[in-house]
Structure 1
Amino acid sequence: MKVMNWNIEWMNNWFSGNHEPRWGSGSLSAEEAQRVAEKVARVIRRTSPDILCVQEGPSAAQEMQLFLDDHLSDGGAPLYEALIGKAGGAQKLYVLRKLGGAAEIIDHATDPLTLALEDVWRADVDGDLLLQPYDFTRVPMVVDVKPAEGVPFRIVVLHTKSKYVHNGQVLFNDPARRQEFIAAAMKARRRIAAEGFRLRTYLDELIKANGDERVIVTGDWNDGPGPDFFERQYLSHNIADIVLGSTFYPELIFQHPILRHVSPALQFTARFDDFVDNVRDRPLLLDHFAVSPALAAEVVDAGIAHDAFEDEIDGSGSARVQRASDHRPIWLEI
């Protein structure tokens, strides 16, 4: 079975109408939106996942269905069915199942431990040493998968709080206002760390209760390997390290198959200018898989769909209609 994860850049901008959807919005014309949608569809068809986890999906399930009907269908019959996440506003989480594929059934997990992820907890996200109520920016989407053959497993889709700071480059480049940027950036990173710790607590409880639990955590974690400026200088946390687990509890550590199956030079899913470290077009591994100990040995391959992604780039790829997304898909096979 192939599982793919993809942050499909602002799908909500493809549509208007929400529950009565139509192509086009204030950001993209109907023709432009469908041009981007066709690029996305070609990448999905070429990669052909049995399960597709999506971040930045449209706000209404009817809009996702319009995409499936118009661009991911054969002879008018959609190739996938979509399950929408419970939270996310204009950037919803989705899990799509290939009809007739290796996954027979997908559905939301409803056990008490999973439902508790929707609860508020207390954390110091302001750095003022005072605990305050906090909850996920987007509650992780937890889906149980029943394969057509084989043992069921669970997928957790995580899209953390963005690191984006409005007018960040202007603030950072102005010595008189740089501290404004630092304060806003650190608050965002504290929120990401809080979400990472809360998810890791959930994973620890799952595996401690059942060491044979088969779990894949995936998504856009807005963080990756290697300490950035804020982790080096302001001692913030790396969420990827948090989610994968502590070396002090090796029986609970999740594996990252991308690192094992993809050469280091190709371990990136996005390229963005880094004005803090002054690196243009920096390759970043922001999208991840973390596989529980009981399932890790069954991962037979993993990759990043560089070729399928790059074949959909027109010109520089800087305009929205010149690319499928600003993130590249990742995939694994079990």
Structure 2
Amino acid sequence: MSEKLRPDQLRPDQLRPDHLRLASYNVEWFNALFDDRGHLLEDREYSARYKITRGEQLAALGVVFTALDADGVMIIEAPDTNSRRSTVTALERFAAHFGLRTRKAIIGYVSETEQEIAFLYDPDKLSVRHDPKGEPAPSRGAPGAPRFDSQLRLDINGDGLEDLVRFSKPPLELAITTTSARALRLIGVHAKSKAPHEAGDDAAFKRISIDNRRKQLAECLWLRARIDRQLEAGEGLIVMGDFNDGPGLDEYEKLFGHSGIEIVLGQGDQTRLHDPHAEMALTETNALAPSSARFWLQPQKRYFEALLDFIMVSPDLAATKPIWRIWHPFNDPGVLAVPELADALLSASDHFPVTLDLAL
């Protein structure tokens, strides 16, 4: 990176005082950057990022969070919470270390993995509480939209038999109130990955890919059922996170007729959510679709880009003409104008932040 810049020099733009900026950011293996007491591991040991040390990744994340200057960040793959570790402690120490105004953290239901969904926010701008909806399902599950830490009963194989679906990372439902008394509902999402990591041969690759696609679609159907109920309640709703999916992303989508993103946005006579990046990907017939993530493919020895991260809003919020932005280090002119920020985005994670500037 270049010589260290002041925080105001890192910001490609300034947030208008009458706007609220929310961000969604998947930080690759954030958990590996903290010890069990939530202290930052700013050393020269390698992080989970290829040939990037923990100190380098933390420094890069400090640059990115400073540049975003968001009022609230939905962090996907946040540090773990278990009997020895605390997501909230780690994130609040991270914020204090880098002098971020987003200095309070909150999580919902704990994940079965080492990747939590958390919200880091500015308490001077927002009041935030975990506010899950739906009824807890019994052990045999429930249809429709049970609480996200329960089990959904759904036929996902098309064989007439109901399966039990459970989120490995239950979505984070938040009730938010701004200092101007504007109430919003936020749902943070990290949907099932479709990558067939366990595959040992071509047959296993295909089987696991299809099973993972079914699970991802089932999670999106469950999420959409919750969205329908929230929209019926007339509340301003924002659904944000990493959906591990996008229109036309893999050939297995053809087996099911649609992507998970199309399900969450709404189909048929459902009230549609809005995200211009998703809508662009759905309608483009060439390679002009945006991207929010960049991965190295070892067999091809090249990078692959995909649109996986979204911020979807209800029609009432879309009517206020919010501003969406993907902080892509190669495609965003404002980011390109600050080389230290572009470098930091590449070092910090394999995903890039997405922001929404919403008029209050």
TMscore range, shorter length: 0.7 to 0.9
Cα distance in 1, alignment partners of residues 55 and 94 from structure 2? 9
Partner of 1:40: 61
Partner of 1:23: 41
The equivalent position to 2:105 in structure 1, one of 34, 57, 82, is: 82
Q: CA deviation at 1:204?
A: 0.9
Q: CA deviation at 1:129?
A: 5.4
Partner of 2:116: 92
Q: CA deviation at 1:246?
A: 1.0
- Greater shift, 112-121 or 90-99, is seen at 112-121
Cα distance in 1, alignment partners of residues 297 and 275 from structure 2? 25
Could you tell me which runs of 5 or more consecutive residues in structure 1 were left unpaired when the two chains were aligned: 172-176
The equivalent position to 2:229 in structure 1, one of 168, 185, 205, is: 205
Q: CA deviation at 1:288?
A: 0.5
Cα distance in 2, alignment partners of residues 53 and 290 from structure 1? 13
Q: What secondary structure, in the 3-state scheme, does the structure 1 residue paired with 2:182 have? A: coil
Structure-2-length-normalised TM-score: 0.76
Aligned letter for 2:127?
Answer: I
- Greater shift, 219-228 or 186-195, is seen at 219-228
Identity rate of aligned residues, in percent?
25
Q: CA deviation at 1:248?
A: 2.5
Structure number having the greater helix percentage: 1
Cα distance in 2, alignment partners of residues 122 and 64 from structure 1? 35
Aligned letter for 2:58?
Answer: A
Partner of 2:129: 107
CA contact (8 A) 1:55 1:220 kept: yes
Correspondence 1:8 to 2:27? yes
The equivalent position to 2:253 in structure 1, one of 231, 246, 258, is: 231
Matches within 5 A, 1:1-334: 1-17=20-36, 19=37, 21=39, 23=41, 28=47, 32-59=53-80, 60=86, 61-73=88-100, 79-88=102-111, 89-100=113-124, 103-112=125-134, 116-125=147-156, 130-166=161-197, 168=199, 171=200, 177-208=201-232, 210=233, 212-226=234-248, 228-232=250-254, 234-235=255-256, 237-249=258-270, 252-258=271-277, 265=288, 267-272=290-295, 280-307=302-329, 308=335, 311-312=340-341, 323-334=347-358
Cα distance in 2, alignment partners of residues 28 and 52 from structure 1? 22
Summarize the Cα distance change of 1:228–1:300 in structure 2 as closer, same or farther, 3 Å threshold: same
Q: CA deviation at 1:125?
A: 5.0
Q: CA deviation at 1:130?
A: 3.5
- Greater shift, 301-310 or 236-245, is seen at 301-310
Cα distance in 1, alignment partners of residues 180 and 302 from structure 2? 46
CA contact (8 A) 2:42 2:58 kept: no
Cα distance in 2, alignment partners of residues 242 and 259 from structure 1? 12
Partner of 2:13: none
CA contact (8 A) 2:107 2:130 kept: no
Cα distance in 1, alignment partners of residues 38 and 349 from structure 2? 25
Q: Note the alpha carbon deviations across 1:94-132, whole angstroms, 9 max, x for none.
A: 1111243xx330111144468722221123456765323
CA contact (8 A) 2:240 2:311 kept: yes
Q: CA deviation at 1:24?
A: 6.5
CA contact (8 A) 1:16 1:24 kept: no
CA contact (8 A) 1:141 1:156 kept: yes
Aligned letter for 1:37?
Answer: L
Q: Note the alpha carbon deviations across 1:9-64, whole angstroms, 9 max, x for none.
A: 110111221x45452698639x9323211211211111211111100000122222
Q: What secondary structure, in the 3-state scheme, does the structure 2 residue paired with 1:179 have? A: helix
CA RMSD of aligned residues (A): 3.2
Cα distance in 2, alignment partners of residues 256 and 14 from structure 1? 32
Structure-1-length-normalised TM-score: 0.81
CA contact (8 A) 2:96 2:103 kept: no
Cα distance in 2, alignment partners of residues 292 and 22 from structure 1? 37
Summarize the Cα distance change of 1:185–1:325 in structure 2 as closer, same or farther, 3 Å threshold: same
Cα distance in 1, alignment partners of residues 149 and 227 from structure 2? 15
Cα distance in 1, alignment partners of residues 222 and 134 from structure 2? 15
Could you tell me which runs of 5 or more consecutive residues in structure 2 were left unpaired when the two chains were aligned: 1-19, 81-85, 136-144, 330-334
